[in-house]
Chains A and B, each alone.
Chain A
Amino acid sequence: MIWTIVKRLWLVPIVLLAWEFAAASAANPFFPPPTLIASRMYEMWFSGPFLFTEEAVDNFVPSLIRVVGSWGAAVVLGVGLGVALGRTAWLADYIDPLVEFGRAVPPPAMLPVFLVLFQMGTQVQVATIVFGIIWPILLNSIDGARNVDHLQMDTATVFGLPRHLRLFRIILPAASPKIFAGLRLSVSLALILMVISELKGSTDGIGYLLSVASSNADMPAIWAGVVVLGVLGYAFNSLFLLAERRVLTWHRGARGTA
């Protein structure tokens, strides 16, 4: 156990040390040594009475609420709409080009629409994230719901299964591998859009801290922002993979790829 951890992680401290020494000897202001970044992070954000400082609370919390809330909204909207559209077979040919087009728009390009509409604040972030990440969710939900096994649906009809049971017992489980494939894309995209929309149209949030640091040319603070966002990205990804593994265990088991 310990041996595998050592085997996997031994390069990390070496890289950090090498970076430390290289940065110290080169004295390039753009690449501060890791210890400087860490101490900067500590003094800015983690030296408060209850670990977090006021600055950390005032900026991390809004960011987290926005990204998690928007992601949740996009999931509910995307999966709901996607399953409804996917189960309405005759609609397929009419909406496909529209959905394809919506997905093809580079997500950050949506931001200016909401900058014009709302100027600043949480609405900008929420709208940018929701409209940016809903497409892969929508597309995969449609695809998943469309390709439910006919035999299963027919059996459900024969047995007179009520609508809601048909949805929750057959359609959603059958579509879930596809849906999760879309959700996986949306997690990292949500974070990207959070950062962009906060860099541009916000007065708080992690992205805002980053933009303040960059207008002050405060290199250690910029690096600190990158580290926090990296940790956030890592945490979101891990949580998502955990949830996915939980929900889709039956699927892997059924396909013998567990």
Chain B
Amino acid sequence: MTTTTTLARGERLHLSRARLGKLVRHVIGVAAFLLLWELAGRTGLLTWLPTASASLARVVGLAVDPAFLGDLLATLTAAAIGLPLAVLVAVPIGLLLGTVPVVEEMTRAIVEFLRPIPSVALIPLALFAFQPEINAKVALIVYASAWPILINTLYGVRDVDPVATETLRSFGFGRGSVIMRVSLPSAAPFIFTGIRLAASITLILAISVEYFVGGAGGIGAFLIQASTGIGADAMVDVIATLVWAGAVGLAVNTVLRRAERRLFRWRFA
């Protein structure tokens, strides 16, 4: 933003024209894809795939479908509860492991064994251990999305300029205030990247859990319900929900990326 204001007028015009051209090409690309999809359906090339027009009409239809909106809300609510909890769990642990090497070395073997367990393998276990199901969903979201935050916090804290921490130490600041004043702020960009990665994991886990418990609602339950139908009708519902899921994922990712850029502009400059 600041660079564009200092540019000469002609250059600015050129820049905005380049951006417009890019946008036009984006639109053409998407339109061409939709056209091909429509043609594939109309010509009978892909009989199982509903046409683009039918699918998009259903996408719009879902926007006013209270059952779908309720499910969408349920998924987003679980993700929105889980992500902050994961931050609350992972950041302090990451700080501890990052600032106290002894603890890190001690627990490394356990971390290395736990981390590769595919989180969805824990679904049956969580469903037994946590009742009602919404708790299992949130617990799994917290567990799975805590990992990237934890690892990024750990790396971020390790990356802190030692001169800065030593300086504060030599001015008599205690360990806690060094962490609060130097380690945490300078690890913040890393932590935020971890949170952005974790956000997409929350959706993965939420939808996966919802596949197994219809009672908890959510777009996963909606998808499974739709997929029990037969043939083209079922497919239209599934594809339309997929488009919604993609849109939600894209929106979340874009918002977090923007926020990342804005919050840590000094780092990207």
A residues within 8 Å of B by Cβ? 7-12, 15, 30-31, 93-98, 100-102, 104-113, 115-117, 188, 191-192, 194-196, 199-200, 207, 210-211, 213-214, 217, 219, 222-223, 225-226, 229-230, 233-234, 236-237
Task: Using A106-B245, A107-B204 as known contacts, list a sample of 16 further A-B pairs with CB atoms less than 8 Å apart, ordered by residue number in A.
Answer: A8-B108, A10-B106, A30-B125, A93-B29, A94-B29, A101-B246, A105-B246, A109-B242, A116-B229, A116-B235, A211-B124, A217-B128, A223-B125, A225-B121, A226-B121, A230-B114
Residues of B within 8 A of A194 (CB): 118
B63 near A: Cβ within 8 Å? no
Contact A108 B118 (CB under 8 A): no
B residues within 8 Å of A by Cβ? 21-22, 25-26, 28-30, 32-33, 48, 105-110, 112-114, 116-125, 127-129, 200, 203-204, 207-208, 211-212, 219-220, 223-224, 226-227, 229-231, 234-235, 238-239, 241-242, 245-247, 249-250, 253
A31 CA to B212 CA, complexed, in Å = 21
> Closest CB of chain A to B22's CB: distance in Å?
5
Out of B105, B120, B250, which one reaches A101, CB within 8 Å? B250
A11-B29 CB under 8 A given contacts A102-B246, A210-B121, A229-B118: no
A182 CA to B28 CA, complexed, in Å = 27
A109 CA to B124 CA, complexed, in Å = 19
Contact A30 B235 (CB under 8 A): no
Contact B118 A113 (CB under 8 A): no
Contact A104 B238 (CB under 8 A): no
> Closest CB of chain A to B225's CB: distance in Å?
9
Residues of A within 8 A of B249 (CB): 104-106
Residues of B within 8 A of A11 (CB): 106-107, 109-110
A104 CA to B243 CA, complexed, in Å = 10
Contact A30 B22 (CB under 8 A): no
Residues of B within 8 A of A113 (CB): 227, 235, 238-239, 242
Chain B contact surface mostly: helix
A120 CA to B245 CA, complexed, in Å = 23
Out of B22, B32, B117, B212, which one reaches A230, CB within 8 Å? B117
> Closest CB of chain B to A4's CB: distance in Å?
9
Contact A96 B246 (CB under 8 A): no
Contact A96 B124 (CB under 8 A): no
Contact B118 A188 (CB under 8 A): yes
Contact B234 A108 (CB under 8 A): no
> Closest CB of chain A to B207's CB: distance in Å?
5
Residues of A within 8 A of B229 (CB): 116
A234-B127 CB under 8 A given contacts A93-B25, A101-B246: no
A206 CA to B242 CA, complexed, in Å = 27
Residues of A within 8 A of B128 (CB): 30, 214, 217, 219, 222
Contact B204 A117 (CB under 8 A): no
Residues of B within 8 A of A107 (CB): 204
> Closest CB of chain A to B248's CB: distance in Å?
8
Residues of A within 8 A of B127 (CB): 214
Residues of B within 8 A of A236 (CB): 116
Contact A108 B211 (CB under 8 A): yes
A112-B246 CB under 8 A given contacts A94-B32, A211-B124: no
Chain A contact surface mostly: helix
Residues of A within 8 A of B109 (CB): 8-9, 11-12
Residues of B within 8 A of A111 (CB): 211, 223
> Closest CB of chain A to B41's CB: distance in Å?
15
Contact B116 A230 (CB under 8 A): yes
> Closest CB of chain A to B208's CB: distance in Å?
5
Residues of B within 8 A of A192 (CB): 118-120, 204, 208
Out of B22, B106, B117, B250, which one reaches A229, CB within 8 Å? B117
Which residue of chain B has its CB nearest to the CB of A219? B128
A111 CA to B33 CA, complexed, in Å = 22
Residues of A within 8 A of B106 (CB): 10-11
A97-B108 CB under 8 A given contacts A116-B234, A234-B116: no
Residues of A within 8 A of B230 (CB): 116
A104 CA to B235 CA, complexed, in Å = 20
Contact A112 B226 (CB under 8 A): yes
A12-B110 CB under 8 A given contacts A94-B32, A222-B125: yes
A116-B121 CB under 8 A given contacts A8-B105, A93-B26, A219-B128: no
Residues of A within 8 A of B113 (CB): 12, 230, 234
Contact B124 A196 (CB under 8 A): no
A82 CA to B193 CA, complexed, in Å = 25
Interchain Cβ contacts under 8 Å between A and B, 7 examples: A93-B21, A97-B26, A109-B241, A188-B118, A196-B120, A214-B128, A230-B117
Residues of A within 8 A of B124 (CB): 199, 210-211, 213-214, 222, 225
Which residue of chain B has its CB nearest to the CB of A229? B121
A98 CA to B33 CA, complexed, in Å = 8
A94-B25 CB under 8 A given contacts A106-B203, A108-B220: yes
